[in-house]
Structure 1
Amino acid sequence: MSCVMIASPNQSVLEKVVHAFGYRSTEDFLRIEIRNLLQQKIAYYQSRIDFYEQKYGMNFDEFRRRVVDKSDPVLSKFGIIEKEDDDNDWDDSIDFILDYSSYLQQINP
């Protein structure tokens, strides 16, 4: 399959390819593709959050409140290092979602 690129001789190769894929400009391409990438990242980190909520049966704030109680009936089943690792990953996932969501809101559709 060949791709016909009709463009002015002044256009860069990138601009020609972007137009060949149906985008109006490299800025449109960049905006749309970055929004797609941000949405994919948000979905990934949300899946991490969902995993930990399912694993522990609680949200992150409740986990943080209860994790310090060594006699907690739910959390005492898990090892200290496992809870520490999960806490870090869970917290990072929340931070990434907040950052990526903020970026997404700033980029016009």
Structure 2
Amino acid sequence: MTVEQTSVESIFHEMGYASSTDYAIKKAREELLQELKVSLGRIDAFEKKYEMTYAEFDKQFHLLTQFSLFERDDDSMDWRAELTVLRSIEKRLATLTL
């Protein structure tokens, strides 16, 4: 370890972290939790709008005539994409906790 690396590690120890890696993991987890909150909020908005989960929405797609086809199509793509984002965030969070 170089003198600079030792100095940096010393700063993290003074801040109460075991290492710079420990600090980086904590900050990454905080950022991912914020992303998770945003993603869950977007999914919640769709669930409130349609009063159902995506699985139910997908099954009843053509029965939801109170919304235009274009609106349903757009929401379906956005909702599905947000579920993919959610799964990605959950996987990254799980990796950090290993």
Shorter chain as denominator, the TM-score bin is: 0.7 to 0.9
2: CA distance, partners of 1:30 / 1:21: 15
Report the counterpart of residue 46 of structure 2 in structure 1: 52
Q: Deviations over 1:48-105 (max 9, x none)?
A: 11100000011101111111x2xx2xx2111112111111111111111111111111
* Unaligned segments of structure 1, at least 5 residues: 1-8
Report the counterpart of residue 102 of structure 1 in structure 2: 91
Higher gyration radius (CA)? 1
8 Å CA contact 1:15–1:25 kept in 2: the answer is: no
Report the counterpart of residue 66 of structure 2 in structure 1: 77
Report the counterpart of residue 6 of structure 1 in structure 2: none
Structure 1 consecutive aligned stretches of length 4 or more whose deviation exceeds 2 Å? 18-21
Report the counterpart of residue 65 of structure 1 in structure 2: 59
Give the 3-state SS of the residue equivalent to 1:27 in structure 2. Answer: helix
* Unaligned segments of structure 2, at least 5 residues: none
Alpha carbon RMSD of aligned pairs, Å? 2.4
1: CA distance, partners of 2:97 / 2:27: 12
Report the count of equivalent residues. 95
1: CA distance, partners of 2:91 / 2:26: 16
Q: Would the alpha carbon gap of residues 81 and 102 (structure 1) be closer, same or farther in structure 2, given more than 3 Å must change?
A: same
CA positional deviation for 1:19: 2.4
CA positional deviation for 1:20: 8.2
Q: What is the aligned-residue identity percentage?
A: 24
TM-score norm. by structure 2 comes to: 0.81
Report the counterpart of residue 4 of structure 1 in structure 2: none
2: CA distance, partners of 1:20 / 1:87: 48
